[in-house]
Chains A and B, each alone.
Chain A
Amino acid sequence: GNSVTQMEGPVTLSEEAFLTINCTYTATGYPSLFWYVQYPGEGLQLLLKATKADDKGSNKGFEATYRKETTSFHLEKGSVQVSDSAVYFCALSDNDYKLSFGAGTTVTVRA
C-alpha cells in the first residue's frame, strides 16, 4: 500500500534560517505529491504540489522536487519567518484521489 514517512519534529529555528523537512514515500503507482500546511488555529491548506517525476512545486518561498529515483519530496525554504510557524504534512495521492499523509512536522520559528 501507499505510505509517507516524514521527518520527526518538532523543529525550532531562528528567523532567516534554512528549513528542510524530509519526506519519502512508498507507492505502487505514480502518485502525485503534496505538502499541506496547518497554521495555528486554521484549517489545512495546500502549500505546493508536484504531479510527476522531476517536477518542482513552489509557493511562498517553499520548494519541493519530486525525486522518483529516491522516492522523496523534501520541503525547503531558504529563509524562514515567524509566520512560517505551523505544522507541515507531506502527502501523496494515487489513482483513487485518496490522500495518504505523513505524521506531520511542527515547525516553530523564533524572532
Chain B
Amino acid sequence: SAVISQKPSRDICQRGTSLTIQCQVDSQVTMMFWYRQQPGQSLTLIATANQGSEATYESGFVIDKFPISRPNLTFSTLTVSNMSPEDSSIYLCSVVPSGGSRTDTQYFGPGTRLTVL
C-alpha cells in the first residue's frame, strides 16, 4: 500500500491567482496521477506526472493552466494557474506502487479542496 499526503488540505483563493498543491508519498511509486473532482461530479484525470520529464495531459487540460512537476519518485506538485471560479474543485493525486501493474490498486490522497472567489 501507499500513504499519501496532500498540502494544503483546503484553500480559498482569489480569481487570477495561482495555487500549488503538493503530493507526498511514503514510498517510491511507479505512476502518479492528478485528478479533479468538480462539485457533485465524478473524477476526471488531468494528467500523468512523469518523473524527470514533462507531464502527459489529457484532452481538455494544458500545461499552461496546470503545470506539474515530479522531481523524484515520491513527490509531485500541481499548480492551478490564473484561477477562475470554474476551477473550484477537489484536486486529488493518486499513485500506483512501484512494481505495480494495471490490475493493482491505485491509491488516492485525501484531496485538496479549492474554492475560487
Contact = CB atoms under 8 A, between A and B. Distances in A.
Contact of B41 (A34, A36, A103): A103
B76 interface: no
Given A44-B92, A101-B42, A96 B102 contact: yes
A5 B96 CA distance: 24
Nearest to B101: A97
A45 B102 contact: no
Interface stretch (B20-28, B61-69, B108-116): B108-116
Given A43-B109, A45-B108, A93-B106, A99 B42 contact: no
A46 B105 contact: yes
B48 interface: yes
Interface string B55-99: 000000000000000000000000000000000000010101000
Interface string A47-65: 0010100000000000000
B45 interface: yes
B43 interface: yes
Contact of B42 (A89, A95, A96): A89
Interface residues of B, number: 21
Interface residues of A, number: 23
A43 B31 contact: no
A45 B110 CA distance: 10
A36 B92 CA distance: 14
A22 interface: no
Contacts of A95: 102
Contacts of A100: 45
A75 B81 CA distance: 38
Interface of A: 32, 34, 36, 42-46, 49, 51, 89, 93-104
